[in-house]
């Protein structure tokens, strides 16, 4: 039974999901490029695989804002989230542990994570470089042969990189430290479906970037969690 006081603006509620069988069990499968609007906690929440500028989800958020209707995430939040330096500065100011970062036109220490900052850069396409030859090719690519700067994050030799999918700030099967970090990121940006790239440095998790999450990337537990929110059953 749905939680009291919740309603949904999704126009295809009866047909939200198809199903597939995994290990003999039926699991919900959400159609590619689907965009959902769910009413909860006094606002419309837009759920999508990408919130990039000029996409349908972005314009849906903007329409709500222009009409004076409460909506999450905010248009400024999704724009800030996909630019690594802006994302990390906002997170740092909110007290979230983040990787040290710098912007460069050509130099990068080793090892480092590199992110493009050009108009078409995708934060999910980060690269780890460990020597000059490797860095030269990556930098040439992400800067379009020097036309744009890039962001680098210096790594310790022992650091490891992890990713975590957050559904309304909740995670599936992650340790307490990662779960708490995902919750804090959601409190700041309010993006219902997002992937956190994290660096584990001396047993401490640091936020490296945020990136959009495609539905096929979701594990069975994550699909079930998202499906529960979409069906307004998240507290069951």
Out of 11-20, 69-78, 173-182, 183-192, least confident range: 11-20
Is 123:211 a contact under the CB 8 Å cutoff? yes
Q: How does 157-192 read in b/e, with b if 16+ C-beta sit within 10 Å?
A: eebeeeebbbbbbbbbebeeebbebbebbbebbbbb
Give the model's pLDDT for residue 228.
92
Average of pLDDT values for 152-181?
96
How high does pLDDT run on average in the chain? Answer: 88
pLDDT-derived band at 4, boundaries 50, 70, 90: very low
Please compute the mean of the pLDDT values over residues 18-46 and round it to a whole number: 76
Average pLDDT over residues 172-183: 96
d(C-alpha 81, C-alpha 90), whole Å? 9
Q: Is the pLDDT of residue 10 over 70?
A: no
In the structure, what pLDDT confidence band is assigned to residue 195 with cuts at 50, 70 and 90?
Answer: very high
Report residue 196's pLDDT band, with 50, 70 and 90 as the boundaries. very high
Q: Are 164 and 196 in contact (CB under 8 A)?
A: yes
pLDDT in tens, 81-125: 999 999 999 999 999 999 999 999 999 999 999 999 988 889 999
């Amino acid at each position: 039974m749905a939680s009291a006081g919740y309603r949904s603006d999704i126009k295809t509620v009866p047909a939200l999901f198809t199903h597939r069988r995994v290990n003999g069990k039926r699991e919900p499968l959400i159609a590619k490029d689907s965009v959902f609007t769910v009413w909860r906690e006094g606002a419309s929440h837009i759920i999508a695989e990408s919130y990039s500028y000029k996409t349908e989800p972005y314009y849906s958020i903007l329409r709500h804002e222009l009409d004076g209707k409460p909506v999450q995430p905010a248009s400024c939040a999704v724009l800030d989230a996909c630019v690594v330096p802006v994302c990390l500065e906002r997170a740092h100011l909110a007290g979230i542990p983040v990787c040290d970062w710098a912007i460069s036109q050509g130099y990068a220490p080793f090892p480092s994570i590199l992110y493009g900052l050009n108009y078409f850069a995708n934060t999910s396409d980060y690269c780890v470089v460990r020597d000059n030859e490797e860095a030269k090719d990556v930098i040439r690519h992400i800067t379009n042969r020097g036309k744009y700067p890039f962001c680098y994050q210096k790594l310790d030799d022992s650091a490891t990189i992890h990713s975590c999918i957050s559904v309304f700030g909740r995670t599936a099967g992650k340790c307490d430290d990662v779960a708490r970090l995902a919750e804090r990121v959601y409190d700041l940006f309010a993006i219902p479906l997002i992937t956190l790239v994290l660096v584990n440095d001396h047993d401490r998790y640091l936020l490296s970037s945020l990136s959009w999450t495609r539905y096929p990337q979701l594990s069975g537990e994550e699909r079930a969690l998202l499906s529960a929110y979409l069906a307004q059953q998240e507290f069951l």
